[in-house]
C-alpha cells in the first residue's frame, strides 16, 4: 500500500482535472510500491505512462487556462515545464541505475504534485468551474 495516495483535500472540484490528478497520484503510488518491492521492471513500465500522462494533463490544463484567459498562464506553463524537465532528469538517472534516484524521484513527484495542486492549480479552480458551467 503506497504512502503516496490521492486524498479528497486535493480535489479542486473540476471533474476532468481531479480525475487526471488522481491518475497521476495513483501512478506515482504504483511506482512507490514497485520501488519498495525492488521491482525495476514495473518501475520501467510505469514511467513512460507517467511521463505521457503528465504531458496530457498539463496540455489539457493549459488549454482550460487559455479559455478562461488566466492572467498567470505563462507562469503556470513555466511551472509545468520545470516539472517535466526534472522528471526527465530523474527518470534518466533511474534508468542509468542510480540507486538514490528512485527515492529522489518519489520525493520530488509527491511533494511537487501535492504542492502544485493545493497551490497554483487551486487558484484557477473557481474560474475553470465557471467555464464548464457555461458549456
Ligand atoms: Fe497545473
Ligand atoms: Fe494540475
36-92 pLDDT, tens digit per residue, is 898 888 888 899 999 999 999 999 999 999 999 999 999 999 999 999 999 999 889
CA 21 – CA 5 distance, rounded (Å): 11
Tell me how far the alpha carbon of residue 121 lies from the centroid of ligand 2, in angstroms: 6
Tell me how far the alpha carbon of residue 64 lies from the centroid of ligand 2, in angstroms: 11
Query: pTM for the whole thing?
Result: 0.92
DSSP per residue, 66-123: HHTT-TTHHHHHHHHHHHHHHHHHHHHHHHTT-HHHHHHHHHHHHHHHHHHIIIIIHH
CA 31 – CA 37 distance, rounded (Å): 10
Tell me how far the alpha carbon of residue 70 lies from the centroid of ligand 2, in angstroms: 14
Tell me how far the alpha carbon of residue 62 lies from the centroid of ligand 2, in angstroms: 9
Q: Does 3.40.50.2300 match the CATH number of domain 12-134? A: no
Residues 85-117 pLDDT 10s: 999 998 898 888 776 888 888 899 989 999 999
Q: How many CA atoms lie within 13 A of 58 on its CB side?
A: 21
pLDDT the model gives residue 79: 97
Q: How many CB atoms lie within 10 A of CB 58?
A: 18
Tell me how far the alpha carbon of residue 37 lies from the centroid of ligand 1, in angstroms: 31
Amino acid at each position: 500500500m503506497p504512502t503516496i495516495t490521492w486524498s479528497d483535500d486535493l480535489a479542486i472540484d473540476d471533474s476532468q482535472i481531479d480525475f487526471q490528478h488522481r491518475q497521476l497520484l495513483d501512478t506515482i503510488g504504483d511506482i512507490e510500491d514497485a520501488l519498495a518491492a525492488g521491482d525495476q521492471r514495473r518501475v520501467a513500465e510505469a514511467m513512460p505512462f507517467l511521463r505521457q500522462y503528465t504531458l496530457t494533463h498539463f496540455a489539457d490544463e493549459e488549454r482550460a487556462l487559455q479559455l478562461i484567459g488566466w492572467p498567470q498562464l505563462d507562469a503556470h506553463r513555466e511551472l509545468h515545464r520545470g516539472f517535466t524537465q526534472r522528471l526527465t532528469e530523474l527518470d534518466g538517472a533511474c534508468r542509468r541505475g542510480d540507486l538514490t534516484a528512485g527515492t529522489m524521484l518519489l520525493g520530488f513527484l509527491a511533494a511537487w504534485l501535492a504542492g502544485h495542486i493545493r497551490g497554483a492549480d487551486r487558484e484557477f479552480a473557481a474560474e475553470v468551474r465557471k467555464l464548464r458551467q457555461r458549456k
